[in-house]
Structure 1
């Protein structure tokens, strides 16, 4: 597949399929209190968003990155020697500060084996510094307050109460990903004609 539009369409379909799976399973994970799965799903959905946003903000690298992705080489730019790709690290793609960084950092605690997996013995939300909990509560309150099934949070809320927001957070991330995919698609189409 050498055509940029075809490669982007392939990438977009893969991204949308992944989001659809996440949307289907997140409520089941929350209902069963599978907190490790819930945190991992949020982190994976954010993974899609940061990659799509990288493509959106780095139009000069788009073609190479999409070719590498479609070829199964990962999200990166082919090396000059033709062997593999120079992967673009998450730390480069995740904006510093803001909600993306918080979801990324907290979600990583569930993607990687950490103390957060022992959430029955130690509440992972309460393990965060109070100022970090305050910022998270403010974000959740600002974007998701009043949505069905979620309690109003405080810095002293239990992780189980915070986790009830996960389906709403995932939906917001997925919507942002879809919007960014559409933006990139429009740019690719516009440049071609």
Structure 2
């Protein structure tokens, strides 16, 4: 399917850009953009997870829509597929997606977290959200020991690498007809 090849190429190109950008941003210590890059990579991942949980014909039509620059719509055209719907599906399957995605969104949109030079964004988060982010980072990446935003930043490049690696595996599953509907 040519559309799948184009879709995969788009995702991998975007992911490659994200990894290069993260290296530059980490070196320059541009915190908000590091979070924004991570959030964009998560956007790609939740879309692929969503696709993997659709039937073959629906998946094909969504991929076709994506490569043609069209919005993803619900079956029968009853509205668009929302980011929330895709994130909730990924959250259900993986258990960590929502907290990291939501935190990243705060750096895509202008929020109080952009005052990170004077107020620690981790302190500004609800305790449940902060704890979920830190627990994920500690479990999968070995830290941070402290719960400050500054401490968390050092782990973002490895978080991005993990998400990128998962994304690549999910893309491979898209090409494997035997794994339809099996992601988690």
TM range (shorter): 0.7 to 0.9
Runs (4+) of structure 1 moved beyond 6 Å?
none
What does 1:152-167 align with in structure 2 at a 5 Å threshold?
152-154=144-146, 157-167=147-157
Q: Which residue of 2 aligns with 1:100?
A: 97
Q: Which residue of 2 aligns with 1:148?
A: none
Number of residue pairs aligned between Structure 1 and Structure 2: 175
What does 1:1-193 align with in structure 2 at a 5 Å threshold?
5-59=1-55, 60-76=57-73, 86-95=79-88, 96=91, 98-145=95-142, 152-154=144-146, 157-187=147-177
CA contact 2:3–2:67 (8 Å) conserved in 1: yes
Shift of 1:141: 1.2
Unaligned runs of 5+ in 2: none
Shift of 1:79: 6.7
Unaligned runs of 5+ in 1: 146-150
Deviations 1:146-182 (A, max 9, x none): xxxxx6423xx32111011111111111111111110
CA RMSD of aligned residues (A): 2.3
- Alignment CA distance shift 1:78-1:92 (3 Å): closer
Distance between the aligned counterparts of 1:12 and 1:38, measured in 2?
23
- Alignment CA distance shift 1:131-1:63 (3 Å): closer
CA contact 1:49–1:177 (8 Å) conserved in 2: yes
CA contact 2:137–2:144 (8 Å) conserved in 1: no
Deviations 1:17-57 (A, max 9, x none): 00000011112212222111111101100000010011100
Distance between the aligned counterparts of 2:60 and 2:86, measured in 1?
17
TM-score by length of 1: 0.82
Shift of 1:130: 3.2
Task: Looking at secondary structure, tell me which structure has more helix per residue.
Answer: 2
TM-score by length of 2: 0.86
